[in-house]
Structure 1
Amino acid sequence: MVKINLLPHREEKRKQRKAAFYRLLAIAGVVGLGMVIGVAGMYAAQIATQDQRNNFLKAENGKLDAQIKEIGNLRQEIEALKARQQAVEDLQSDRNQPVYLMDELVRQVPEGIYLRSLKQENQRVVISGYAQSNERVSELLRNVGNNSAWLERPDLIEIRSTTLGQGRDSKRVFDFTVNVGIKRSREKDAAAKPSGQSAASAAKKL
């Protein structure tokens, strides 16, 4: 017996295929939306983690900046204390400078020179006097510049010919003014160290 399907089967199959396509499309949309939400959540979690790290680094940097500022303040206080300590030491050492000055002048002033006045301003001393000749003044400058442990950097300010006395007792001399520096104890010790070290190294070589 032959069966004949009189229903519009082609139209029915077309509707079934269209319904299946829509179902697949809906499933794909749901899956895609889920993937997008998952990826977005993963990125959001990574961004939140990175924000936490950034906030932690900012907080630590703030602490370091505060510590650096504190260290800078401590350094300034230390430098100020060192400066005060050095000033006190300089004041104590400067009390003996007149003694060192007079002792050095006795050692370094050659014969034929008469000192008339001394005036000290800080670490410079103005020396005025009379000399028998220009050579005597030059010798004084050489002695102070090369042979003195306490005096340094001599500078001839003025020298002029003048006459002392009257009549037969008058003498032609040279009136001079010299400016010299006087060292502090620490400067003298610092200048003496290199020579002492070189002598010690030379002795080791021998």
Structure 2
Amino acid sequence: MANIDLRPWREERRKARQNQFVTILAIVAALAAGAGWAWNQSVQNQINFQNARNTYLEDKIKDLDVRIKEIQTLRQQREELIDRMNVIASLQGDRPIIVHIFEELVNATPEGVFFSSLIVNGTSIQISAQADKALSVSDFLRNLDNSVWFDNAFLEVMESIKDGQEVVGHKFNLRVTRANPLKNEEEDS
């Protein structure tokens, strides 16, 4: 009986090792759960941080879109103002031209020619007039062609005015294009 050990220390040692194993297992499980929870919190914090950055960027993009629309409307208004200024400048530049046109019409009109109507459409001038002689009509056309303020004088219609069998005058319509010698001088300079 010498080989039988009846002391309970082995049993206690086994229980102590088992308790130690369970304790270590519980600590490792708790540490693993803690590490998993910490990793999950870290990932959630990164996701929340990225979502906050995305929201911030989306807000800034919306603000920039509003500013871009404002800039586009301002550019459009600027272009409209520039167009208006160009129209006004061209009108201001054309103001003295009408004086020259009328002066040249007076100088080019021979005696015996009387205007019925004068219609200006852009650079085209439509003249309806009467003349006492056919020679006055041809002189008028020649004078218009020789003027630096007119180009392309063209007789469209000419009718004789009769009193019985006698020709007392001529009605005629002509078209002439307005020229601007001042503009040509500026371009040459």
Normalised by the size of structure 1, how large is the TM-score? 0.52
Q: CA RMSD in A?
A: 5.1
User: Please, which moves more after superposition, 29-38 or 159-168?
Assistant: 159-168
C-alpha separation in 2, matches of 1:59 and 1:155? 67
C-alpha separation in 2, matches of 1:169 and 1:23? 142
2:56 aligns to what?
Answer: 56
Stretches of structure 2 that go unaligned for 5 or more consecutive residues are none
One-letter amino acid of the counterpart of residue 46, structure 2: Q
1:85 aligns to what?
Answer: 85
Q: 1:90 to 1:21 in 2, by over 3 A?
A: same
1:106 CA displacement: 7.5
1:79 CA displacement: 3.5
Count of matched residue positions in the alignment of Structure 1 and Structure 2: 179
Percent of aligned positions with the same letter in both sequences?
27
What SS does the corresponding residue of 1:31 show, helix, strand or coil? helix
User: Please, which moves more after superposition, 13-22 or 25-34?
Assistant: 13-22
Q: 1:36 to 1:151 in 2, by over 3 A?
A: farther
C-alpha separation in 2, matches of 1:27 and 1:179? 108
1:7 CA displacement: 8.6
Q: 1:4 to 1:115 in 2, by over 3 A?
A: farther
What SS does the corresponding residue of 1:170 show, helix, strand or coil? strand
Stretches of structure 1 that go unaligned for 5 or more consecutive residues are 198-206
One-letter amino acid of the counterpart of residue 175, structure 2: V
Which protein has the larger Cα radius of gyration, Structure 1 or Structure 2? 2
Normalised by the size of structure 2, how large is the TM-score? 0.56
Residues 63-106 of structure 1: CA deviation (Å, up to 9, x unaligned): 32343343334334434443443444344344323223235657
Picking from 153, 156, 160, the partner of 1:159 is 156
C-alpha separation in 1, matches of 2:114 and 2:43? 92
One-letter amino acid of the counterpart of residue 125, structure 1: I
1:200 aligns to what?
Answer: none
